[in-house]
Structure 1
Amino acid sequence: MKRIACLIIMAVSISIHAQSFFGGQDLHDILFRQSVKSCEEFMNRFNEEEYFPDLDKTDSLIGQKNFVFLFDSQLAKGKDRDVFLKDVFQFYDSVRTNKVKLSYESKKWYAELRANFFYKKDTVELGLVFQTEHTPKNLPCWMIVGVNGLEKIGYTDSISRLTISPEQHEAEFIEIESDFKYSAKEFSKFRSYKANLDALSYFFALIESGTLTFDQRISTNFHFFDVPSYFFSVRYYPRKSTNTGWLIYDYRPIKSDEKNAILSKLLSK
């Protein structure tokens, strides 16, 4: 185990400094081949339909080694190598035991675009969450299914409510005039105790009214719930080393209730 640990960790964390080490091959070409260049390539390597270049195809441990190359090497920093690899290999075993194959069509993965928006005179960072769907003509596409971070600009779906006096129907609801004037910033609290305030509807209303306007994209993360007992996320790392491209930056074993909690937080539901 220790021998495997040393070999794999060294392979993951090594930075390429000299062309001569690769028999005169062009450094740019080597890094390009080793990089996980797209989300599709990440899926292919995860599914073992492709492998990290230069791995020995006859090696009985090629699957495990290939899997380790899909992780951001910084995850191993400050950790015992054997412990880190044991965790990764348990993850790998769960993937293989459950025969998990990542795919574009899966309904268990989400893309999250972190972006800045202007709200009044402030800049606020929100997360727009997308999921794959098909149009009525059966064409694949991405659609917005959630948004997170709206609590920064006043959104809340708490149990707190504001009420209207029970006799107001006799006064033709004249009280509502002062409610609009003095409680405008928390007017959603006048909704029924049985009515939920949907974050996505709230977001669309702010956008279409011009109250919230787009500024710029920040980053994109992919979140996967395909492995029954795990949650993991992927983002892009532009490095001049073997450990570059779309890599796993967060992973954890979780139970079904924990997975639901993570998903609810991601979608603000």
Structure 2
Amino acid sequence: MKRIVCLIVMAISMSIHAQSYFGGQDIHDILFRQSVKSCEEFMYRFNEEEYFPDLDETDSLIGQKNFVFLFDSQLAKGKDRDVFLKDVFQFYDSVKANRVRLSYESKKWYAELRADFFYQRDTVELGLVFQTEQTPKSLPCWMIVGINGLEKIGYTDSIGRLTISPEQHEAEFIEIESDFKYSAKEFSKFRSYEANLDALSYFFALIESGTLTFDKRVSTNFHFFDVPSYFFSVRYYSRKSSNTGWLIYDYRRIKEDEKKAILFKLLSK
């Protein structure tokens, strides 16, 4: 078993120079086959509808080996290899025991686009969160369901409030003039104690008023909540090695309440 563990980790870490040849094949062709070229291909390999190229399909451990190739090899850096592989295999066992299959239609995965925006004279990076839906004509699409990072530009849904004097109705609310002048940057705190400030509505208002403007895309991450007691995220890595493409860069074994907390933070609920 220890030999198998070492072989797997060595395979993940394997790096091959772009100009070399192997078994009569151009290394570019080999790396192209090995890379996880799309999120769809990641799902196929996760579901074992496809396997990492060159694995022996008669091997009784092909599932575990294939699963390990879906992880960023840097996750094992500085860790005991046996402990790392044991942790990954426990994750794999949970996937199999719960018969988890990733799919585009799942309501338990999210895409997060990290993007730069201009706000006043500053640049801020925010996370736009998308989820799959169907149009009224049953056509698949992505829709924006959340935004995170707005606290950088003043958004807060805290319990703190600003109030208007109780006798202001007798003065035709003249006090509001100074409120608009001196409290404009935190004006949302004048809302009712029973009214929640929705982050997504706040974002759309900033965009449509021209206060917040799009600059450029930074990166894309996919977050999966499909596996009971686990959360994991995937992003793209461009490398001249077998460990390239869309790979798991973060995974955690967590309780369901912790999973909900991660989701709420992602969506700024």
Match of 1:240 in 2: 240
Distance, in Å, in 1 between the alignment partners of 2:225 and 2:9 is 26
Match of 2:126, SS state, is: strand
Match of 2:137 in 1: 137
Amino acid at match of 1:258: E
Match of 1:264 in 2: 264
Amino acid at match of 1:81: R
TM-score with structure 2 setting the length: 0.98
Distance, in Å, in 1 between the alignment partners of 2:54 and 2:15 is 15
Structure 2 residue 226 is matched with structure 1 residue 222: no
CA drift of 1:47 comes to 0.1
Amino acid at match of 1:43: M
Amino acid at match of 2:13: S
Distance, in Å, in 2 between the alignment partners of 1:208 and 1:198 is 16
Aligned partners of 1:133 and 1:143 also within 8 Å:
yes
Structure 2 residue 153 is matched with structure 1 residue 153: yes
Aligned partners of 1:44 and 1:50 also within 8 Å:
yes
Alignment of 1:1-269 (within 5 A): 1-17=1-17, 19-20=20-21, 22-269=22-269
Q: Which runs of 5+ in 2 are unaligned?
A: none
Q: Once the two structures are aligned, what percentage of the paired residues are identical?
A: 89
Q: Which runs of 5+ in 1 are unaligned?
A: none
Aligned partners of 1:19 and 1:25 also within 8 Å:
no
Amino acid at match of 2:115: A
Distance, in Å, in 2 between the alignment partners of 1:252 and 1:188 is 36
CA drift of 1:170 comes to 1.2
TM-score with structure 1 setting the length: 0.98
RMSD across aligned positions (CA):
0.8
Amino acid at match of 2:130: F
Distance, in Å, in 2 between the alignment partners of 1:4 and 1:153 is 51
